[in-house]
Structure 1
């Protein structure tokens, strides 16, 4: 039986820019683990000046949950080994070009 809530109309894409306050862990592993738990595809990439880019594709509700987890780490400094300073999100159309989640060099 297929859930009526799933389908291509619920698929989306988001590019998330994350600034960290401090990190006692590996942000790429943090992003990868959270994407995997939510069956999201895409990538994370470290940009200059301590900025991280995460591009996600999948169910919009799962992407929103990923963003919510980042926001929770911004509000509560001790939630995880990653302390998020700022989160900026840009939504776009689902492309389907990613088969898994990876780290871009």
Structure 2
């Protein structure tokens, strides 16, 4: 029986791993960047208006369903969001319907 142990490199002869992308360092763990906590003073002030909230709800529902926006979709989303809570709620139900 032929063994291939002569092709293995002993661990002591293996060169150290080089980090070509600079991912290892004091400000990183496991190759991930450590992000600073958000600065509350840098937040956008003021509450969202009802139409903006509905528009964001529509975008979130479409994103969750994997529906990619197409040119002109922003106009349609804005128009639906401006029609009120009842219309937006119906459209959100339609988007979420699994049949």
State if a TM-score over 0.5 links the two structures: no
Question: Rg larger in 1 or in 2?
Answer: 2
Give the alignment's TM-score, normalised by structure 2: 0.24
Q: Pick the structure with more helix per residue.
A: 2
